[in-house]
Amino acid sequence: MSVYYSKEHEWVRVEGDTATVGITDFAQGQLGDIVFVEVPEAGRQVAQGGDAAVVESVKAASDVYAPVTGEVIEGNAALADTPELVNSDPEGEGWFFKLKLADPGQLDGLMDAAAYKAFCDSL
């Protein structure tokens, strides 16, 4: 199991050919209190870099992009009633959606934890 990060502040946790996607702790900190999350439904095809979910905080509404291409297996239904999970546990209970990884090669273009930390420090 390994975790990858995108420059758009999404994380991807890969187990076999299943990728779980959410937004990073840095992203939730920048957004502030999350008040609404819209996750994709199972069966939807999402392309790397394309819109996949929507997150709304007291400050702003933002698109969440798919860091990798694939078919959505499940959206995190818990976020509908408890969007605060994204604030309290962004890289755990606050996951957004799971998808079936179409091209594992795309993961090579993402960052590991150390590289992502360096990227955030540079912002």
Partner 1 sequence: MTINQSGWKPTTPEAGETEGTTFTGNRALMLEEPLLFEIGSLDQTGVDFADVPGQTSRLAGLERRKDIGLPGLSEPEAVRHYTRLSRQNYAIDLGLFPLGSCTMKHNPRLNEKVARMPGFADIHPLQPVDTVQGAFELIHKLGEWLVKLTGMHSVAMSPKAGAHGELCGLLAIRSALEARGDKREVILVPESAHGTNPATAAFCGYRVEDIPATAGGRVDLEALKARLGPDVAGVMITNPNTCGLFEPDMIAISEAVHAAGGFVYCDGANFNAIVGRVRPGDLGIDAMHINLHKTFSTPHGGGGPGSGPVVFSEALTPFAPLPFVEKTGEGAYRLVEEENAEDHHASSFGRMVAFHGQMGMFTRALSYILSHGADGLRQVAEDAVLNANYILRSLDDVLDAPFGFSGPCMHEALFSDKGFAEGISTLDLAKALIDEGFHPMTMYFPLVVHGAMLIEPTETESRATLDQFIAALRSVANRAKAGDQSLKAAPIHAPRRRLDETLAARKPMLAYKEPVQAEAAE
Which stretch in 8-16, 55-63, 64-72, 94-102 sits in contact with partner 1 by CB under 8 A?
55-63
**Does position 58 bind partner 1 by CB under 8 A?**
yes
Span 94-123, contacts to partner 1 by CB under 8 A = none
Which residues neighbour 49 within 8 Å (Cβ) at sequence distance 6 or greater?
65, 66
Please, what is the Cα angle at 103 between 98 and 104, to 5 degrees? Answer: 80
Q: Are 53 and 39 in contact (CB under 8 A)?
A: yes
97's tokens: 């959606």
Which stretch in 14-22, 51-59, 101-109, 110-118 sits in contact with partner 1 by CB under 8 A?
51-59
Contacting positions for partner 1 (CB under 8 A): 33, 35-36, 56, 58-60, 62, 83-84
